[in-house]
């Protein structure tokens, strides 16, 4: 009996067993009770409202914000951008519309459900310390 094919099969079985899918490492921050920055996606519900924001030396712009029902915290994951810092007790988040989301400002005054990725808002023209780049937005109650 030829021992080489038998040894090859044993080595192949050993190699395949070593390639078993290992569980993904768990980010300890993922269970901290906070919302999380990008690349995580969040679904938020609250009342949309507008606010005029002016940066020194710049024109005034209208920002759309979401007032959450209760304050929360936002924290970075290990995979988040290095500039993203934990923010505690935040209740107002700026809703940042993509160019393909039209008429988003018509939601001013309504309870909405918004889905997107959270990011730090910086600079004089920021309406809130955290923004949600919108993927979708609509009435919180589909019967509205």
> Can you give the pLDDT of all 144 residues of the chain as single tens digits?
555 555 555 545 544 444 455 444 455 555 678 999 988 899 999 999 999 998 888 889 889 999 999 999 999 988 888 888 899 999 999 999 887 676 888 999 999 999 999 999 877 788 999 999 999 999 998 776
Query: 114 with 140: CB under 8 angstroms?
Result: no
Beta bridge partners of 43: 115
CA distance 39 to 58: 31
Q: Evaluate whether 107 touches 101 at the Cβ level (below 8 Å).
A: no
Domains and their CATH numbers in the chain = 28-139 (2.40.50)
Question: Are the beta carbons of 66 and 46 closer than 8 angstroms?
Answer: yes
- Determine how many CB atoms are found less than 10 A away from the CB of residue 91: 14
The reported pTM is 0.74
Predicted pLDDT of residue 123: 79
Which of 53, 42, 46 minimizes the C-alpha distance to 67?
Answer: 46
Residue 14 has a pLDDT of 46
């Amino acid at each position: 009996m030829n021992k080489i094919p038998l040894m090859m099969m044993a080595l192949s079985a050993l190699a395949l067993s070593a390639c078993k899918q290992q569980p993904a490492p768990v980010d300890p921050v993922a269970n901290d009770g906070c919302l999380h920055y990008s690349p995580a996606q969040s679904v938020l519900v609250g009342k949309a409202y507008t606010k005029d924001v002016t940066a020194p030396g710049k024109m005034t712009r209208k920002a759309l914000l979401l007032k959450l029902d209760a304050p929360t915290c936002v924290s970075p994951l290990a995979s988040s951008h290095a500039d993203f810092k934990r923010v505690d007790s935040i209740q107002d988040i700026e809703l940042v519309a993509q160019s393909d989301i039209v008429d988003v400002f018509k939601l001013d005054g309504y309870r909405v459900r918004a889905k997107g990725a959270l990011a730090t808002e910086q600079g004089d023209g920021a309406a809130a310390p955290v923004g949600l780049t919108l993927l979708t937005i609509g009435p919180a109650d589909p019967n509205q």
